[in-house]
């Protein structure tokens, strides 16, 4: 019996069990796409920004991954890391709000649903806010509002572009009216940033809904979105019941919003860093551009400077 025949007979006599298959997939070396089912080597998947190379499905990633993908190594400086949510309403549903927050902090290693900081994107300095859906669905409470407002104000003072990666289920109900006030506070900071002639780019990822969509996510000079991201305010069922009509299947997707003029471009995740760098160079070449970044002469004309 040849060695090949021996292995073939052994495989037939000892079929791979389902449990063993699941263990082999779960060991971290391979990742199964939830859209097409293709197995991809995790290292290759990370090199492609966690986008399935077979079908283009954008696997959900979190704030640490986003920062690593967008910010040049060694240039990230976090801001306002110590801000923690309070419990002004002493809210309780199935469990106390403060207990829910503490459990989520322990599980995620985050103090709240957004990370903010200053860094360089392709050698271009920016201020960056990244929301994280792991923390109570990326809900916008007082800490999220305060950190984003401070971030935008820092960008205005230092004349830097602002980029916010949006993902959220909306305002945080456990903080009541205080969470809704963050919509106006962040929007006010963005208005001062706009009046200073500075660039703001929100990137809408899956999902971006509720009060975030109704405020800073839709106030960008240029609004980008990831492919097939869910973007909307109220849920599909609520909208259908209100309008009393059936909505299109692709309603509230990034592609639907692009067709109807609510977003400016859909950018696949592997191209996002390059796209943001091009937008910053085109719109703000005069702001803190490092000496080693080459700016085309056509971009230095006085005519493109704000009044």
According to the model, what pLDDT value does residue 304 have? 36
Question: Residue 127 domain-assigned?
Answer: yes
Element holding 3 (H helix, E strand): helix 3-13
Looking at residue 128, what DSSP letter applies?
Answer: E
Structurally, the chain folds into a number of domains equal to 1
SS3 133: coil
Reported confidence tier of residue 294, pLDDT bands at 50, 70, 90: very low
Residue 191 lies in a domain: yes
- pLDDT band per the 50, 70, 90 thresholds, residue 295: very low
Q: Output the pLDDT for position 305.
A: 37
Can you tell me the mean pLDDT for 182-199? 96
Residue 12 included in any domain = no
Region of 46 on the Ramachandran plot (φ > 0 left; ψ -120 to 50 alpha; else beta): alpha
Q: DSSP strand E in 156-290: where?
A: 162-168, 200-208, 224-225, 265-266
Residue positions counted in the chain? 307
265 pLDDT more than 50: yes
Task: Tell me how far apart the alpha carbons of residues 114 and 164 are, in angstroms, rounded to a whole number.
Answer: 10
**What whole-number distance in Å separates Cα of residue 50 and Cα of residue 201?**
22
Residue 33 inside a domain? The answer is no
Backbone phi, then psi, for 68, in 5-degree steps?
-65, -35
User: Which of 44-48, 90-94, 115-119, 298-302 is predicted most confidently?
Assistant: 115-119
Residue 275, domain member (yes or no): yes
Cα angle at 83 between 153 and 205, to 5 degrees? 65
Minimal CA–CA distance to 121: which of 284, 237, 238? Answer: 284
Q: Which two tokens stand for residue 263?
A: 């977003």
* Residue 271: domain span: 60-304
pLDDT in tens, 19-61: 554 554 556 789 999 999 999 999 999 999 999 999 999 999 9
How much of the chain, in percent, has pLDDT values that exceed 70? Answer: 83
Task: Annotate 34-100 with three-state secondary structure.
Answer: CCCCCEEEHHHHHHCCCECCCCCCECCCCHHHHHHHHCCCCCCEEECCCCCCCCCCCCECCCEHHHH
Q: What is the pLDDT of residue 235?
A: 87
What letter does residue 152 receive in the DSSP assignment? H
Looking up residue 207, the CATH number of its domain turns out to be 3.90.226.10
Closest among 164, 167, 138, 169 to 149, alpha carbons compared: 164
Q: Is residue 297 over pLDDT 60?
A: no
Q: Contact 172/179 with Cβ under 8 angstroms?
A: yes
Q: Does residue 47 lie within any of the structural domains? A: no
Task: Tell me the pTM.
Answer: 0.84
Q: Tens of pLDDT along 97-147?
A: 999 999 999 999 999 999 999 999 999 999 999 999 999 999 999 999 999
Alpha carbon distance 183, 166 (integer Å): 13
Q: Is residue 98 a part of any domain in this protein?
A: yes
Distance from C-alpha of 161 to C-alpha of 201, rounded to nearest angstrom: 8
C-beta of residue 169 within 8 angstroms of C-beta of residue 209:
yes
Q: What pLDDT is recorded for position 102?
A: 96
pLDDT in tens, 207-264: 999 999 999 999 999 999 999 999 999 988 999 899 899 999 899 999 999 999 999 9
Determine the Cα–Cα distance for residues 221 and 302; give it in Å rounded to an integer: 20
Q: What pLDDT does residue 26 have? A: 53
Checking if the pLDDT of 287 tops 70, the result is no
Average pLDDT over residues 64-93: 96
- Is residue 207 classed exposed, middle or buried when 0-12, 13-18 and 19+ CB atoms within 10 A define those classes? buried
Q: Are 172 and 140 in contact (CB under 8 A)?
A: yes
């Amino acid at each position: 019996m040849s060695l090949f025949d021996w292995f073939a007979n052994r495989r037939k006599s000892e079929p791979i069990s389902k449990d063993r298959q699941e263990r082999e997939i779960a060991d971290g070396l391979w990742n199964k796409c939830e859209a097409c089912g293709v197995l991809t080597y995790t290292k290759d998947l990370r090199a492609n920004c966690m986008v399935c190379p077979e079908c283009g499905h954008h696997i959900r990633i979190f704030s640490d991954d986003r920062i690593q993908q967008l910010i040049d190594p060694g240039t990230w400086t976090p801001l306002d890391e110590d801000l923690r949510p309070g419990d002004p309403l002493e809210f309780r549903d199935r469990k106390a709000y403060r207990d829910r927050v503490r459990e989520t902090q322990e599980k995620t290693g985050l103090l709240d649903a957004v990370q903010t900081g200053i860094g360089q994107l392709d050698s271009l300095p920016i201020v960056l806010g990244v929301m994280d859906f792991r923390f109570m669905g990326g809900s916008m409470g007082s800490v999220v509002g305060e950190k984003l407002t401070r971030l935008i104000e820092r960008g205005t003072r230092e004349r830097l572009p602002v980029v916010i990666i949006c993902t959220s289920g909306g305002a945080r109900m456990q903080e009541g009216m205080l969470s809704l006030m963050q919509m106006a506070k962040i929007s006010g900071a963005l208005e001062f940033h706009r009046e200073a002639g500075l660039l703001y780019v929100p990137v809408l990822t899956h999902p971006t809904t509720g009060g975030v969509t109704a405020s800073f996510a839709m106030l960008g000079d240029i609004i980008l979105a990831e492919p097939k991201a869910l973007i909307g305010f109220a849920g599909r069922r609520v909208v259908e019941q209100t309008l009393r009509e059936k909505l299109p299947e692709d309603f509230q997707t990034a592609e639907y919003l692009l067709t109807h003029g609510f977003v400016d471009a859909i950018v696949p995740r592997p191209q996002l860093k390059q796209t943001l760098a091009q937008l910053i160079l085109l719109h703000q070449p005069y702001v803190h551009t490092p000496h080693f970044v080459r700016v085309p002469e056509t971009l230095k004309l006085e005519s493109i400077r704000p009044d």
